[in-house]
């Protein structure tokens, strides 16, 4: 069983290069299903989730060339199977992002239900509502825990779809299906995350006609066929926020290169509220927390452009060390405080009620054996371990490796006393 050991590391210092965004590259790869030509995706991070998506595409019949580091050449000449692999779907729920492209290209997709995960039930009802609105038949085969979505050739038609919640995945799935629909689709109350814009840019390079991505109303005019393209993935805004917090929690200073400040404005704003210095330089985002008294602030997660839920747990780890009490509210997922138990093992003394956590602050954390309860909580435990007295041993680190490229080495490069070990 792999684990990460972290010792108290003192202020981190140096430069770190941000990798391509996990939550962008996954829908981008799914979109390659929409054409029989080759799509070249550049800036691809080396992640477990990317490997799972490559397997999903190969199972559908895609030819994947990943011989060049950081580049994936994908070509779905013809679809060999319309059924998602159940084991892969269980391993990565983002596999459901292949439903929309398969429906649009092939007219049928059978997808095992992804089930919930530690942060919530994570249903796909809004995805299915979108497919039905575009004219597909959706059969929820509860007995076999799968859903069958199909449409006769040429019957996918544009329509207006209102999303009850600005779901990122539902927006992406519907947008991809609508590119090959008859007529125009309007997605109302659409998600506005940068990853939506990145996907729309790729689709438009393929010949789609998408307007207003990044706003809460996206317009997609269907076309007959899409072609191949070359596209580079945007930098990972959540990895960017994670390393900004690494500087803050260790009272160090880090230059974060290849980061887009426009994608992390809530994190910049909140760190400044805590009296952390953040400068936007030509070389990147410079975060300096040296010799400064840092103070508490409150956090409330919201869909973009609000404070990102994926940074909630790393930011909470940081808040345990600043002067004063903080309130953290999680409004996006119903169960995203699993990391509180782990932080409390380290002496954080956090209390929670429903979706609200009270973080007393001013704590000297102590090393402990803790778990990574989800991808981002794992990152939070590494951050806490950097400032805890003694050694912190983090288990279930496969979560971390799903979404952070070269995570341990990037921290080592900043002076962290951290290592990955194999230990039962």
What are phi and psi for residue 179, nearest 5 degrees? -65, -30
Binder among 19, 35, 75, 167 for ligand EPZ (CB under 6 A): 167
Q: Interface with ligand EPZ includes 137 (CB under 6 A)? A: no
Q: CB of residue 99 vs ligand EPZ: minimum separation in angstroms?
A: 11
- Whichever of 27 and 252 has its CB closer to ligand EPZ, that residue is 27
395 contacts: CB under 8 Å, gap ≥ 6: 1, 3, 369, 370, 371, 372
Q: Interface with ligand EPZ includes 403 (CB under 6 A)? A: yes
Q: CB of residue 155 vs ligand EPZ: minimum separation in angstroms?
A: 23
Q: Which residues are designated catalytic?
A: 117
* CB atoms closer than 10 angstroms to residue 386: 27
377 contacts: CB under 8 Å, gap ≥ 6: 313, 338, 339, 342, 399
Q: Interface with ligand EPZ includes 271 (CB under 6 A)? A: no
Pattern 63-102, binding to ligand EPZ, x per CB under 6 A?
-------------------------------x--------
Binder among 106, 131, 318, 333 for ligand EPZ (CB under 6 A): 333
Instruction: Of 89, 35, 36, 37, give the one whose Cα is nearest residue 59.
Output: 89
Q: Interface with ligand EPZ includes 174 (CB under 6 A)? A: no
- Tokens describing residue 398: 């496969």
Ramachandran quadrant class, 43 (left: phi over 0; alpha: psi -120 to 50; beta: rest): left
Please provide the DSSP assignment of 305-365 as one string. Answer: TSB-GGGHHHHHHHHTTSBS-EEEE--S-TT--HHHHHHHHTT---EEETTEEEE------
Q: Interface with ligand EPZ includes 339 (CB under 6 A)? A: no
Q: Interface with ligand EPZ includes 316 (CB under 6 A)? A: no
Binder among 26, 133, 181, 218 for ligand EPZ (CB under 6 A): 26
Binder among 20, 169, 235, 367 for ligand EPZ (CB under 6 A): 169
Specify the stretch interacting with ligand EPZ by CB under 6 A; choose among 115-123, 135-143, 359-367, 410-418: 115-123
Residue for token digits 């930098």? 235
68 by DSSP, 3-state: which?
Answer: coil
Q: CB of residue 133 vs ligand EPZ: minimum separation in angstroms?
A: 13
Ramachandran quadrant class, 402 (left: phi over 0; alpha: psi -120 to 50; beta: rest): alpha
Instruction: Of 90, 161, 154, give the one whose Cα is nearest residue 128.
Output: 161
Q: Interface with ligand EPZ includes 122 (CB under 6 A)? A: yes
Specify the stretch interacting with ligand EPZ by CB under 6 A; choose among 72-80, 164-172, 286-294, 313-321: 164-172
Specify the stretch interacting with ligand EPZ by CB under 6 A; choose among 67-75, 160-168, 206-214, 359-367: 160-168
Binder among 9, 179, 297, 309 for ligand EPZ (CB under 6 A): 309
Q: CB of residue 333 vs ligand EPZ: minimum separation in angstroms?
A: 5
* CB atoms closer than 10 angstroms to residue 414: 23
Binder among 12, 180, 285, 332 for ligand EPZ (CB under 6 A): 332
Residues facing residue 213 across a β-bridge = 215
179 contacts: CB under 8 Å, gap ≥ 6: 34, 104, 203, 206, 208, 209, 210, 220, 222, 223, 226
Specify the stretch interacting with ligand EPZ by CB under 6 A; choose among 165-173, 176-184, 278-286, 377-385: 165-173
Q: Tell me which residues touch ligand EPZ (CB under 6 A).
A: 22-23, 26, 94, 120-127, 165, 167-170, 191, 309-310, 332-333, 375-376, 403
């Amino acid at each position: 069983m792999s684990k990460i050991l972290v010792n108290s590391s003192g202020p981190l210092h140096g430069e770190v290069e941000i990798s391509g965004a996990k939550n962008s590259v996954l829908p981008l790869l799914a979109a390659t299903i929409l054409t029989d030509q080759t799509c070249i995706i550049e800036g691809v991070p080396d992640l477990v989730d990317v490997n799972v998506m490559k397997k999903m595409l190969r199972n559908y019949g895609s030819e994947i060339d990943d011989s060049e580091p950081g580049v994936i050449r994908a070509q779905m000449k013809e679809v060999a199977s319309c059924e998602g692999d159940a084991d892969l779907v269980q391993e990565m729920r983002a596999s459901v992002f292949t439903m929309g492209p398969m429906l649009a290209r092939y007219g049928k997709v059978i997808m095992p239900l992804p089930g919930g995960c530690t942060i919530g039930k994570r249903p796909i009802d809004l995805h299915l509502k979108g497919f039905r609105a575009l004219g597909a038949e959706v059969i929820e085969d509860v007995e076999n825990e799968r859903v069958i979505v199909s449409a006769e050739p040429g019957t996918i038609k544009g329509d207006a779809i209102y999303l009850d919640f600005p779901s990122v995945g539902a927006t992406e799935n519907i947008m991809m299906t609508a590119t090959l629909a008859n007529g125009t689709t309007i997605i109302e109350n659409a998600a506005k995350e940068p990853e939506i814009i990145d996907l729309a840019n790729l689709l438009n390079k393929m010949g789609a006609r998408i307007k207003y991505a990044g706003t809460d109303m996206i317009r997609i005019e269907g076309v007959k066929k899409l072609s191949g393209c070359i596209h580079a993935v945007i930098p990972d805004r959540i990895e960017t926020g994670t390393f900004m917090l690494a500087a803050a929690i260790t009272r160090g200073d880090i230059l974060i290169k290849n980061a887009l400040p426009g994608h992390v404005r809530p994190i910049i704003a909140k760190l400044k509220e805590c009296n952390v210095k953040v400068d936007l330089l030509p070389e990147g985002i410079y975060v300096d927390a040296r010799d400064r008294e840092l103070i508490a602030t409150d956090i409330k997660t919201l869909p973009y452009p609000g404070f990102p839920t994926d940074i909630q747990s790393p930011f909470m780890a940081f808040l345990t060390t600043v002067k004063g009490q903080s309130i953290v509210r999680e409004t996006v997922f119903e169960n995203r405080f699993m990391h509180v138990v782990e932080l409390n093992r380290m002496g954080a003394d956090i209390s929670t009620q429903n979706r609200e956590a009270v973080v007393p602050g001013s704590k000297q954390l102590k090393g402990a054996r803790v778990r990574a309860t989800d991808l981002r909580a794992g990152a939070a435990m590494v951050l806490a371990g950097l400032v805890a007295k003694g050694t912190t041993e983090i288990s279930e680190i496969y979560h971390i490796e799903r979404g952070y490229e070269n995570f341990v080495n990037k921290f080592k490069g900043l002076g962290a006393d951290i290592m990955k070990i194999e230990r039962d």
